[in-house]
Amino acid sequence: DTGVSQDPRHKITKRGQNVTFRCDPISEHNRLYWYRQTLGQGPEFLTYFQNEAQLEKSRLLSDRFSAERPKGSFSTLEIQRTEQGDSAMYLCASSQDRNYGYTFGSGTRLTVV
Amino acid sequence: TQLLEQSPQFLSIQEGENLTVYCNSSSVFSSLQWYRQEPGEGPVLLVTVVTGGEVKKLKRLTFQFGDARKDSSLHITAAQPGDTGLYLCAGIHTGTASKLTFGTGTRLQVTL
């Protein structure tokens, strides 16, 4: 296992378009997290899965955002009707226990033009 | 919102100098982690501390968890250019399920 993989690495989209990002966590990890990071800031929590169950969602996650983890393995994050304010780095992380460190992917950098 | 304040926000030092980064909150953590992030990459875990007063060392890096588990520090001895990066503290607050709350970050630049 080579770590957490995210695809694509970069995405440029026009305002109003829908985008979908994929995250493949470390296979033994049952916890998966999505974060968003803007320039000069620390990552902000978006949502958390334990296996296939989405256990927590941030208020940052508006109705235009949806995340799934259908079989408890990979996860997708979809943003509908993108806005310029959605431009950010979207980070996925996985862990095996609440007190273990997270392993982050390299992120997907979204630019909405 | 449970805030994690880091200080300083920016630090530019010369190779060989020592430095300390601080991470403070008004809430108690069940565990706290430090990460380092390079531009365009995800954060990489450096250490996890869970016990109040705990001290962990990683080569020239020393991490300390406060006795009350509300604060932490990262000390780097004899900094090198390879230490350059964004240092992030992140904690799981007592009473929250599992999510990490990240600090505001400290951007360190070490020059020759």
The whole-number pLDDT of residue A96 equals: 86
**Disruptive mutation site among A99, A100, A106 for chain B (greatest number of B CBs within 10 Å):** A99
| pLDDT band of B109, cuts 50, 70, 90 | very high
Tens digit of each residue's pLDDT (9 = 90 or more) over A7-46: 999 999 999 999 999 999 999 899 999 999 998 889 999 9
Residue A50: list chain B partners with CB under 8 A: 98
Tens digit of each residue's pLDDT (9 = 90 or more) over A57-110: 998 788 999 999 998 899 999 999 999 999 999 999 999 876 678 999 999 999
Question: A101 and B41: CB-CB below 8 Å?
Answer: no
DSSP readout, A18-86?
-EEEEEE--TT--EEEEEEE-TTS--EEEEEEETTEEEEE-TTS-TTEEEE-TTSS-EEEEESS--GGG
The whole-number pLDDT of residue B2 equals: 55
The whole-number pLDDT of residue B107 equals: 96
Q: Is the pLDDT of residue A2 over 90?
A: no
Q: How far is B35 from chain A (nearest CA, A)?
A: 9
The whole-number pLDDT of residue B3 equals: 77
Tens digit of each residue's pLDDT (9 = 90 or more) over B10-31: 999 999 999 999 999 998 988 8
| pLDDT band of B88, cuts 50, 70, 90 | very high
Q: What average pLDDT does this structure show over B69-75?
A: 96
Q: Is the pLDDT of residue B79 over 80?
A: yes
Amino acid of residue A79? I
The whole-number pLDDT of residue A98 equals: 67
Question: B41 and A43: CB-CB below 8 Å?
Answer: no
Amino acid of residue A73? S
Q: What average pLDDT does this structure show over A51-62?
A: 88
Q: How far is B111 from chain A (nearest CA, A)?
A: 20
**Nearest alpha-carbon partner for B101 in B25, B39, B22:** B25
Q: Is the pLDDT of residue A1 over 60?
A: no
